[in-house]
Chains A and B, each alone.
Chain A
């Protein structure tokens, strides 16, 4: 559970993408949509606790939250397996996560030699391996084909009871919900 109480998130006085935003993220899939620059990524960073609100507060029900960042944020000289080992100590769990994103055969290949879509899957595998009660994802399926998105989405929705996703494609969010039900949050200029 994550509760946002009237939060304002900004980078400086002039750039304040999120103003007085309140919402309770309890259970299920929450789809954050909005045009480019509407503050989707900023809101996700705020909910993840990576940005301190200028005002308001965020209440976290869980200590353990996984995240798929907008940029994959991988150590490019490391293999997929080594990247996962940074956040997960169990070899079996690493193997399992990589098999879920269908990357077992590339486990030992350096990330810099993987394609953009494969690197994205490593970032998803890292979140799966880390686990937790909630996953926050920013454009997680970029560079992945439709069939693969569907197969990976099944593993994500089985692993995490609370999913918060920002994407330009609503279909991505629907894939994450077992019955296609989701709560939509639209961010406009005024939030």
Chain B
């Protein structure tokens, strides 16, 4: 199949964006109420007005930091637990109920419980971590379990030390799954982290701004903050993919 050129791709994306902005504008005209559905223009005006304040950047940065801390903690814990559970049956049995609880408990329950147990400032990070952990754990676990047994037999035959097997053969098997899991987990961490901020209302956070926009019926601000959440989510995902790509190319040297 012929690969599309860059200008064509940009044009394609622009056309899709124009189409959906048109749908939004049209819907806004029909609803005819800024309180219920502000138009793209009003949202952009609100966004630019917010962007003119210094708190806007501090708020965005602090939210990114809170969620990133949770994501990175979940990533590290997920990898450790995934490796442990894949290699040690006892660890797998011990953590199985915990995994089920984390997977099936509603995020809002966790948020409310954490509000009792910890400082509200810490809740978004904890929630992001809790959301990321099972996704990463499962990616690592499945990756290890699906490692080609013939390769393992070869490595054992040639007396490749276990630790070297983990960092080579198993890692290669886990890599693809971990990359996919990380992208999914980042999106989930971002969503859950913002939801946690809405309920926990820590100082200087996007979630608190969203909550207050709703409280004071500033729908255009609610849309503007939501647009920022989407924008940051896309940027963070791209940055993570770049980092993974960079790490991979460094490792290949």
Contacts and interface: CB of A to CB of B under 8 A. Distances in A.
Contacts of B148: 73
A126 to B, nearest CB: 8
Nearest to A127: B158
A86 B157 contact: no
A172 B153 CA distance: 26
Nearest to B176: A77
A48 interface: yes
A190 B31 CA distance: 85
Contact of B150 (A49, A69, A78): A69
Contact of B158 (A77, A78, A82, A87): A87
A82 B168 CA distance: 10
Nearest to B169: A75
Contacts of B155: 86
Interface string A128-171: 00100000000000000000000000000000000000000000
B164 interface: yes
Contacts of A86: 155, 158, 160, 164, 168-169
Contact of B154 (A69, A77, A82): A69
* Chain A interface extent, by class: 10 to 19
Contacts of A77: 172, 175
Contacts of A48: 157
Contacts of B151: 73, 75
A125 interface: no
Chain B residues touching A, majority SS = helix
A182 to B, nearest CB: 24
Given A69-B154, A71-B150, A73-B151, A78 B172 contact: yes
Nearest to A82: B168
A82 B251 CA distance: 11
Given A67-B157, A86-B158, A87-B160, A73 B172 contact: no
Nearest to B159: A87
Interface in A79-132: 82, 86-87, 126, 130
A71 B155 CA distance: 14
Contacts of B159: 87
A50 interface: yes
Contacts of B150: 69, 71, 73
B147 to A, nearest CB: 10
Contacts of B158: 86-87, 126, 130
A77 B153 CA distance: 18
Contacts of B160: 86-87
Interface string B171-211: 01001000000000000000000000000000000000000
Contact of A50 (B157, B164, B168, B172): B157
Interface of A: 48-50, 67, 69, 71, 73, 75, 77-78, 82, 86-87, 126, 130
Interface of B: 148, 150-151, 153-155, 157-160, 164, 168-169, 172, 175
9 contacts: A48-B157, A50-B153, A69-B150, A73-B150, A75-B151, A75-B169, A75-B172, A86-B164, A86-B169
